Structure 1
């Protein structure tokens, strides 16, 4: 029995099998079905509490939402071994999320109301927009839908996906 020949045959079989495998595995990340609202830096001090109503495909959901401090990612660089990292840094925005039962590509209407820190009512703002589809992990991993708006003193605006 020729062991070098057997090793070569096994190596060749392994290489041929590897060539047929997908480029990369899809991440096992569940998509959040939600509408996110980002209150801009300039308007953030004027907002104390928010109420969000979202309607799509004949179904509406509304709730008082929790405002959390927003942040941006700051690149921390890469090591010589190739591992890279980033940290979150507060950016002065406030962020809220209204969870939904489902999210489709159909048009959606979002209405945001709220109060200032002193309790006075903020203007009611409404926007009709279409959730955006993207393939952040490649088309082989399926599309991800997002419904994101920003709120400033002029109203609601759809956030574009980067």
Structure 2
């Protein structure tokens, strides 16, 4: 067998053997905090002084007063030289008037969850109690070969509670 035959045999063997090997997918080692995330809408957040959340799922309930943090949006500040692959780009956070909180749970499954929000307005008056039953969302942000992500998030505004998109 000449050089061409040996080369052809090597390429064929390599192609056949590599086709039989199952390559592992690389998945990020990112942990997820199980809980219900709450966004208080921008037009409503100045009125809310305290927010208490009760979440019940699969016979387990948890209730707590949330620590509300100011929300923000990302503002693109452009690139120094967008035509070059090594150009420098930047962004900054700009307050958007919302406030965010999280009620951390022991576990979060795909089953329906009941959420009740209550609290006090900035003027000291009791807020109306709002309830919502919804199914948490499931996604595979890193591909179906990686772990699924279950998330539960709601928005609170003057009209009440609704599931966040």
TM range (shorter): 0.7 to 0.9
Measured on the aligned residues, the alpha-carbon RMSD in Å equals 2.9
* Counterpart position of 2:114: 109
* Counterpart position of 2:85: 81
1:39 matched to 2:40: yes
1:142 partner SS: coil
1:61 matched to 2:62: yes
* Counterpart position of 1:136: 141
Task: Give the 3 Å change call, closer, same or farther, for CA 82–137 of structure 1 in structure 2.
Answer: farther
Aligned length: 151
CA–CA distance in 2 between the matches of 1:158 and 1:76? 31
Larger Rg: 2
Structure 1: 4+ residue segments shifted above 6 A: none
* Counterpart position of 1:26: 27
1:148 partner SS: strand
Q: Which runs of 5+ in 1 are unaligned?
A: 1-8
* Counterpart position of 1:51: 52
CA–CA distance in 1 between the matches of 2:128 and 2:104? 23
